[in-house]
Amino acid sequence: MASHPHPLRNAECIFCKIVAGEIPCHKVYEDDKTLAFMDIFPLSPGHTLVIPKDHHPDLFALPDDLGSPLMTTSRRVALAIAKAFGPDGVNLFQANGAAAGQTVFHFHLHILPRRKGDGVISTDHGQRPGDHAALAKEAEAVRAVLAEM
């Protein structure tokens, strides 16, 4: 990896150091723009991270042209994990901001193999229906911002 120096680098960032080969990782896959490696505090066996090689702190800062390479790599790795470990399911998740649980501020997607009833993360929101007047207002608020972008 050290042979592919990347221009956008943050000196303090642990994932930039991994990209540069300055600290080790259990590499799964790399191409010119993306890298996948094992999470060293795995939430389940096979828990893998997919990152852009360039430093972008979060989704808000991610250039549009990296979306497709990151999702392509994530899909390839998820397929390989599914074949290697035979999980019952796989989550992709991604945190932006400390309040959302982000601890490393270099964009990353978690690829998380799941077993039935493992309780690793919960997507069960109790099936409470939303209030449609509130939903309509929220949709309008987002559309108004999008229209200005």
Q: How far is the CB of 69 from ligand AMP (least distance, A)?
A: 19
Residue 5's binding partner out of Zn ion, ligand AMP, none, with CB under 5 to 8 Å set by partner kind: none
Show the binding pattern over residues 1-30: x = contacts ligand AMP (CB under 6 A), - = does not: -------------x----------x-----
Residue from 1, 10, 39, 120 that binds ligand AMP (CB under 6 A)? 39
Among this protein's residues, is 108 annotated catalytic? Answer: yes
| Dihedral-angle region of residue 21 (phi above 0 means left; psi in -120 to 50 means alpha; beta otherwise) | left
d(CA 146, CA 142): 6
The answer to the question of residue 77 lying near ligand AMP (CB under 6 A) is no
The answer to the question of residue 60 lying near ligand AMP (CB under 6 A) is no
Burial tier of 107 (Cβ tally within 10 Å: 0-12, 13-18, 19+): buried
Active-site pick, 55, 108, 125, 132: 108
Strand spans (E) along the chain = 27-30, 34-38, 48-52, 89-93, 109-114
- Spatial CB neighbours of 134, under 8 Å, sequence gap ≥ 6: none
Of 23 and 136, nearer to ligand AMP (C-beta) is: 23
- Spatial CB neighbours of 49, under 8 Å, sequence gap ≥ 6: 36, 37, 38, 39, 108, 109, 110, 111
Residue 13's binding partner out of Zn ion, ligand AMP, none, with CB under 5 to 8 Å set by partner kind: Zn ion
Number of residues in the chain: 149
Residue 10's binding partner out of ligand AMP, Zn ion, none, with CB under 5 to 8 Å set by partner kind: Zn ion
Catalytically annotated residues = 108
Binding site for Zn ion (CB under 5 A): 10, 13, 15-16, 55, 106
